[in-house]
Structure 1
């Protein structure tokens, strides 16, 4: 291909043509860029080396910060464990007498150790007085633990016993391999672990031992290319080493610790170090000098390769762009003469691009207008069908005149979709989308058998289809339609756990003058659905006596038991449902009975001055009734609805306030959390406005004041009963901001929390 292109361009290159001048100009620019590259690279070489050093320094900084944050996280966790309610009881009697409580606390340690973000192999609480330990695997004596489950020559039982008297808050010890006894003849490794000891001045006879998985933490926190990372203390002792073969000398580590932060080149290595004040640990990353040099050489090679590619690509592009200048006028003429042919775009001439773009835009717009008109015509036609079905007057009569083309006879089919409880449980927000897919499925299948059919969704749960047929064979068409609908029913029965479909069709051919009458008649036929699962097809019109077959009325026995709050009401309703079932009642009769029962219960609750919102929740029982499609559905609904209502009636008679007690109990259990009026309302299935009014009425104070007063009272207990800091007390009782805690404490007591603690201690 390139041979043909070059032979075609050869005559233009031999003379002083525009093509040859363009190519020479490109080559000149490329030569200038190449010269600039070699000149600037020598200047940038040192800068690149500095950037590489900066990159490694930042990597070490991020690594050190990650380790420090992790240690701080573990320390905070240990503080929380120290002040845990169960731990307060254990500290007073750290013996096996509290075996049940010790096991509960051991389970809590097991959950913490299983947190993958902490990278902990174990958490051990060591009580020096009793020699007892609590770990994630249970309660054991210290001698047994360190001789069977945490075996290491350096960290023996006597080593841990000796740490009781050491005066430090927390300390990180060197990494070591710990082992455990699996059986009498087998000892397995627990891996390389970093022991970290945490103490608390409030109880010097106990401390926490956390065993961090060294390699897992290293993989998670270290950011660098070379595997030469070390952690040391002020004395230069190595606490963790990723590559002992290249480990710095102790004197060098001491120098790094005293310097604080920086980098240094010594021998064949480049050292990056950073000391953290909070922990006193020094983090060191060793990078061989040849690594930095190889990075610079690799960068130089990459730049040379890129430059070579740019030169080659630039030459090819110059030839290609130059060739695009040939015969632009001929392409414009061909585009005008052949409007249906794809228009060639993207030449080097701006004017030609502009003309081509305008011609292409006109052609595309013409196609869009044609498609849009076709789509809108379809929408207007469907809108006209709906108007005619529901007898809605339209000022544009031309649409309705064109609907039933040439007076074609038709069959009318109405599909009613009812979604079950299982559907609402799994797809609470998807009924509209599901109805759309059902509509598309019906339209696709009916249009295959009857090409002139029209399917439209007129309600959220209702779809109708017009089946236009030839008058020559109406009987054959009727049988074909019923057969197709039965086949569709088998398809829909596959999903009967999620929705139930009712198909109503009168297999009598209708004329265009009976359009609205056929729709209303077929719509009423939907009420003949029987209370059983599966798709049902109704082909018989409603009998004249249909509206006289109402459900049985509620008797005086029902009313008396309901007012007394007796559970016999449930049996009465179940008996009524069984009577309807024996009479093979339809959907209309079940709906009539159910609405009468729900209405009578709500009136009784209202007359007894019972809050129906607390009983019924945010969802109306009438809406729940819409999901009942079988006798079992109605039975389950009334069991839940009636037992809940009867319980409220009985509680009202006994003078109880169950909702108030439940809300106050919840607040007293969760006051330390970030709770609000909205979150509590959502917890009890109430609106925030209603809960505010209800709380004010029952407690004579508003929600926020009650919550703040509860938190301040709990804060008083902590101020006098513990040595916790002021801001820690605020966080413990639910205040995220220390200033807000101090301000509200002063508002309720008249003095700040610190002054309150001093005054009460003095008194």
Structure 2
């Protein structure tokens, strides 16, 4: 399609766009001057029309003018002549191929030829001479045939156009005979390399069975055609560059002048997509399809310089025209200041009192004042939003990755999603302190701690101080996990500063975690350390290598999760990570025994919560005795691994033998958490079952898939809310667990055949 016709297609769109824009602007003008008698007084509309007439319309006309100038090439005599030449060239080549096929057909019905096929012999000299003369006459014609032969499959004898007879094994063009006998030949095929005729490099071979409609077991006529003689036609010199491709995209022929891009995949793809003619890399590509073969004829002529110049000018003026349209729109808004007046009441209801509104007489000053007031309000909100956001993360409220990014972007302060640690501050004997210090003591403690943290952290890392309860604060620090030394140095500074406070305080450090979503693990780690310190004889926190509580909490939870879900491969992976961390955690055999005891106690606690009798797992009963007798790290590691795996097998066995209890647990969770984003993975984490087991359980017990059951229950709950409440459709969707309104509308209509709005209307 030429560029002119493309513009003709898009011009109506531009016209419709202009009309829609004018209609909207007319409405805006009416709103602006609703107290006036007529639309003609609308400054905005008049300004826009005038600017559009003097800028946009002339540029569009210039663009279409250059497009029309470029279009003239496609009607020029040189282009039409080139197009006719490629068509004529294709017809002439096809005519030669068809003439050769006709000669092949004529010979296949010749009596002498049929006689030789059925009774091949070199003794019938007269018959054979006539046949070889006919073959030679065809070679003498101006069809490009250089070799012709007749082959009989009975005695494997050949008569050739050179006036000689051959046996199968002595014939020079052995490759052609092999193609025929193997049955992989075609009526017209390109041969090259080892398969080509020995007399010249590449050739086109025509095979014709004798008799014509016989099978491949009698004999055939073979013509070898010289490609250069067939495709090089002197009377088509107007086509400067010519190529011919077969149905598979392989080039049968091309002359020496063709550009290199002809062989590229990009050109072949565009050749298959575009219809003739089209422009490619400053060349005009013309094509013609053969009527007798599957060949495609390709002609290439250089694109005239003026055509490219006119096209570029047309595109340039089109871009400038739309830029001027936008300029006209902006200038019209500036000229019609009264269009902002309807905003006054809205802004007044947000921030200003009536007196303040009247005091600001200039509309732009009014809007600027409003913007600054809203910006100030947002700045005042950020600390509370930061506190609420990090508190929600610590207590494991669900956030999607997009929601986390949006919250961090609003909070600012250079917070990122990666690299977080947590320091827990806990006042010791908090109740006694409150009794002694009076009612203002909590605010005083909070102020003193806040000032202490500001002094240490304000210029180092982004941080958030979150009050978890009256006696404890969690300091969340955005710090790269590789900076663990700096993190511990910061904790030591807090220890020193805490000694100057008028009350005793624990300062507890977590490990550094990769992601912001790992904050619950960091908080749990500090909580466990706090319990350890309170029950130990000293309040001095042990350093890594002296306390099992420095085992990475996330790693510990992942290990328990693998045991709960029965994932042997996941267990092996987590246990390997644990084994790699042991040199950094343990400095003695006793430390390692403490860690092993801690992990096994967590496993026993898990089994008790699942109501599994631990006495059925003898490895658990003998673990502590065997652990006491262990003398080296490898023995403890093997004992811990074997005990954990046996517990995992016991949990799997219990799940399989109690499917009714498992499905009841799953359904209870779904019914009570339907407002959340429930998935197989989240259900697996909560109910301690593998996703594949949950999926099989739904199919077996309920004869329905997990997703199908979840969607049906959500639609049932949505129907109830639509019938019994006045919540909007979007609010109902969120109440039943859909994260966006489109999904809710699609699923609801899938199961009820009507939209939520229609359902509510019917029920009312």
TM-score, length-normalised on structure 1?
Answer: 0.29
Larger RCO (alpha carbons 8 Å, 6+ apart): 2
TM-score, length-normalised on structure 2?
Answer: 0.29
